[in-house]
Amino acid sequence: MSDQVLVTLDHKVRDADVPLLHADDLAVVRGDGVFETLLVRGGRALKLEPHLTRLVASARALGLSNPDLDEWRLAAEMAAEEWGAEREGALRLVLSRGRESGGDETAFATVGPVSERILEARRDGVSVLMLARGYSVDLSASAPWQLLGAKTLSYATNMAALRYAATFGAEDVIFVSSEGNVLEGPRSTVVITRGKTLLTPPPEHGILPGTTQQALYEVASGKGFRCEYAALRPADLITADGVWLISSVTTAARVRKIDGLVLPAAPLADEIVALVDLAIETTGTESAAV
Ligand SMILES: *Cc1c(COP(=O)(O)O)cnc(C)c1O
């Protein structure tokens, strides 16, 4: 039996070993849908509201019907609770356009274990390659069909970039735009530190707005950090005090090598990790300064 929880949007806990999708589901044949990935801790889905908000934005970008937030919230909470409080889990919310032959959209939530790769990235950091994304930072505004700000199910190129990096012994990737600006990781946001300033590329540059980065900014700005959005070049990463890949399930992975160049130990590394942890535990309604 697979180590997985499956909940459908009709709020039924299903047997995760029983097939759920039809062979003509547009998620399967076109990658036509959107998703979210959340960390489950203590039987709770962390930062559920910002993830639901982004799910709605992604669905809108693809012209899917407006997700019913109450239904999704309940399904996510059920899945997290069913997973239990003993260990962390990775919760995925998936919404596809449904079957090619018509009918309703396909919607479900799963929880599985946090992988060994993720535990290693948290503990040891990651070595990354900078790879060409192939588009300009201007594309997002002029080409909405590129879906650059949406978390879509079309991740084949993201996964291919990670496999390419792996052939060079790197565990992760930082994408660079055609004019040489730093964009994001295939599944994470790039944040750098310069003293007590945090910097990340602006979402208008065609990157996904990260819920974890946003939560970090809310908490860090109440703790004496300046939090800024700025165009970053690869040289800014090399000369930064610390470079981080930030995301919901991995939380914070320190970049220790870029294109083979070893970065010095980040001075505030422990503080950044603690801040990300605090940020994801803070619920949306609490003030970050409390
Ligand atoms: C999911 C993802 C992120 C991180 O978003 P979080 O909300 O922090 O998990 C960043 N970039 C890409 C491309 C992603 O798919």
The whole-model pTM stands at 0.96
Ligand 1 proximity of 212 Cβ (cutoff 6 Å): yes
**Which contiguous run of DSSP H or E holds residue 225?**
none
Closest CA to 160 of 127, 133, 124: 133
- Substitution candidate for ligand 1 out of 54, 200, 207, 248 with most atoms within 8 A of CB: 248
Give the alpha-carbon dihedral of 12, 14, 18, 22, to 10 degrees: 30
CB 208 near ligand 1, within 6 Å = yes
Q: Are strands 226-229 and 197-200 parallel, antiparallel or unpaired?
A: parallel
Query: Which are the contacts of 270, defined by CB distance < 8 A and separation ≥ 6?
Result: none
Pocket test for ligand 1, best of 53, 182, 208 (most atoms within 8 A of CB): 208
CB 105 within 8 A of CB 64: yes
What pLDDT is recorded for position 172? 98
Query: Is residue 154 over pLDDT 80?
Result: yes
The atom of ligand 1 lying closest to the CA of 37 is 9
CB 98 within 8 A of CB 26: yes
Q: Are 122 and 253 in contact (CB under 8 A)?
A: yes
How far is the centre of ligand 1, averaged over its atoms, from the C-alpha of 102 (Å)?
A: 30
Ligand 1 proximity of 250 Cβ (cutoff 6 Å): no
Is the CB of 189 within 6 Å of ligand 1?
A: yes
Average pLDDT over residues 35-61: 98
Q: What is the pLDDT of residues 85-139, one digit of tens each?
A: 999 999 999 999 999 999 999 999 999 999 999 999 999 999 999 999 999 999 9
pLDDT at 286 over 50: no
Per-residue model confidence (pLDDT) at position 117: 97
- Kindly give the residue spans of alpha helices, DSSP state H, lying in the chain: 26-30, 48-61, 69-83, 116-124, 139-142, 156-166, 211-221, 234-238, 269-281
Confidence of residue 58 (pLDDT cuts 50, 70, 90): very high
Assess whether pLDDT exceeds 50 at residue 287: no
CB 38 within 8 A of CB 49: no
Considering Cα of 243, then 111, then 103, then 24, what sign does the dihedral take?
positive
Distance CA 11, CA 109 (A): 10
The pLDDT confidence band at residue 284, using thresholds 50, 70 and 90, is low
Question: Residue 167: pLDDT above 50?
Answer: yes
Token pair listed for 229: 């959005």
Strands 172-176 and 126-132: parallel
For residue 151, give the ligand 1 atom closest to its CA: 15
Reported as a single tens digit per residue, the pLDDT across 181-217 is 999 999 999 999 999 999 999 999 999 999 999 999 9
Q: Which atom of ligand 1 is nearest to the CA of 213?
A: 8
Is the per-residue pLDDT at 288 higher than 50? no
Is 211 near ligand 1, meaning CB less than 6 Å away?
Answer: yes
Separation of alpha carbons 213 and 165, rounded Å: 24
> What pLDDT shows up at residue 285?
52
